[in-house]
């Protein structure tokens, strides 16, 4: 097993996920730097914290933590939001980039113990921070969040969040609260945000969403009762949309897009059978 702080061998081509200020180093072609260390114009990585974070297409992946505004990587490319990788719809690559970003954020925010205030040390055989004064150990925090496409006849419930760009509509989403099973989160969030009751939720898929540390857990559910009453604190507007006359929805590669497309495929299939 490769340990977190092990270095790659000189003759081993690897993926380099370099994070600076929450952004990821990408080449001009919006690719992740990949290959032998000697073939890439990277600075001396002995100067940087480097963490083994997993494998992608049978190659090892390393996280490199750069300083904010670090110019030593300019010969490789520039630091951009991990969101840039959603466009390509390469789910595996996006997931690893999400992991790199979240681990970098975890290490940056757990330098001191939350219980006793002593300096924490990185554990050398797993990705964790440990306090040797009080034995408190922390792991990267993941915040589960439900996201749900709700169906009523041949329509889907879409709403525009206050932070969404003008004209962009999406399905409902919300954080799981402490002690809450997902089934309850679904019912509570949909009731709070849209005032309707749902039934028959079905799990469809999930997606790591590292802004900053969500895990989106995607469902399709059916409307049961109630008229839409949009929560004015969270949403601008919302309603039922014909699945074949959709407004602008989140881009391909996002879980919201996948859920809406899945629902559309199911409705189309029903019509044709």
Positions touching Zn ion (CB under 5 A) are 113, 115-116, 118, 131, 133-134, 136
Say if CB 147 and CB 217 are below 8 A apart. yes
207 carries a ligand binding annotation: yes
140 carries a ligand binding annotation: no
Helix, strand or coil for residue 34? strand
* Nearest of 10, 1, 74 to residue 37 by alpha carbon: 10
State the nearest-atom distance from the C-beta of 257 to Zn ion, in Å.
43
The CA-to-CA distance between both ends of the chain, in Å, stands at: 50
145 carries a ligand binding annotation: no
State the nearest-atom distance from the C-beta of 204 to Zn ion, in Å.
41
65 beta partners: 19, 49
Compare residues 87 and 108 and give the one whose CB is closer to Zn ion. 108
Compare residues 114 and 212 and give the one whose CB is closer to Zn ion. 114
Sign of the torsion angle spanned by Cα atoms 261, 245, 174, 83: positive
206 carries a ligand binding annotation: no
DSSP secondary structure code for residue 40 in this structure: S
Compare residues 110 and 151 and give the one whose CB is closer to Zn ion. 110
61 carries a ligand binding annotation: no
Compare residues 106 and 169 and give the one whose CB is closer to Zn ion. 106
Helix, strand or coil for residue 153? coil
State the nearest-atom distance from the C-beta of 122 to Zn ion, in Å.
15
State the nearest-atom distance from the C-beta of 161 to Zn ion, in Å.
38
Compare residues 122 and 191 and give the one whose CB is closer to Zn ion. 122
81 carries a ligand binding annotation: no
Compare residues 136 and 188 and give the one whose CB is closer to Zn ion. 136
State the nearest-atom distance from the C-beta of 136 to Zn ion, in Å.
5
Count how many residues are written for the chain: 273
Compare residues 134 and 265 and give the one whose CB is closer to Zn ion. 134
How far, in Å, CA of 210 to CA of 83, rounded?
9
Say if CB 30 and CB 83 are below 8 A apart. no
233 carries a ligand binding annotation: no
214 carries a ligand binding annotation: yes
89 carries a ligand binding annotation: no
Is residue 94 packed enough to be buried (19+ CB in 10 Å), middle (13-18) or exposed (0-12)? buried
Record the tokens describing residue 162, joined without a space.
């206050």
State the nearest-atom distance from the C-beta of 256 to Zn ion, in Å.
40
Helix, strand or coil for residue 145? strand
* Nearest of 155, 210, 222 to residue 186 by alpha carbon: 222
Rounded alpha-carbon distances, angstroms, from residue 262 to 51, 177, 210:
37, 27, 23
State the nearest-atom distance from the C-beta of 175 to Zn ion, in Å.
27
Annotated binding site for substrate: which residue ranges? 83, 126, 139, 207-214, 256
The annotated binding site is made up of 83, 113, 116, 126, 131, 134, 139, 173, 189, 193, 207-214, 234, 256
């Amino acid at each position: 097993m490769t340990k977190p702080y092990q270095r790659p061998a000189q003759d081993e081509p690897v993926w380099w996920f370099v994070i600076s200020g929450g952004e990821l180093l990408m080449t001009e072609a919006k690719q992740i730097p990949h290959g032998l260390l000697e073939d890439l114009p990277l600075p001396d990585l002995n100067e940087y914290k480097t963490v083994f974070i997993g494998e992608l297409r049978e190659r090892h992946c390393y996280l490199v933590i750069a300083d904010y505004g670090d110019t030593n990587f300019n010969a490789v490319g520039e630091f951009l939001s991990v969101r840039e990788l959603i466009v390509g719809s390469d789910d595996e690559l996006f997931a690893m980039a999400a992991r790199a970003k979240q681990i970098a954020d975890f290490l940056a925010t757990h330098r001191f113990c939350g219980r006793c205030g002593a300096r924490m040390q990185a554990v050398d055989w797993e990705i964790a921070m440990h306090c040797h004064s009080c034995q408190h150990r922390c792991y990267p925090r993941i915040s589960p969040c439900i996201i749900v496409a709700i169906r009523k006849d041949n329509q889907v419930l879409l709403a525009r969040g206050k932070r969404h760009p003008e004209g962009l509509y999406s399905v409902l989403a919300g954080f799981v609260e402490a002690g809450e099973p997902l089934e309850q989160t679904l019912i509570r969030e949909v009731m709070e945000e849209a005032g309707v009751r749902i039934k028959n939720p079905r799990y469809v898929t999930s997606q790591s969403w590292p802004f900053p540390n969500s895990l989106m857990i995607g469902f399709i559910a059916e409307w049961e009762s109630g008229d839409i009453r949009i929560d004015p604190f969270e949403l601008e507007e919302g309603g039922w949309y014909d699945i074949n006359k959709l407004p602008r929805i989140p881009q391909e590669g996002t879980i919201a897009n996948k859920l809406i497309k899945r629902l559309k495929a199911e409705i189309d299939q029903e019509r044709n059978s």
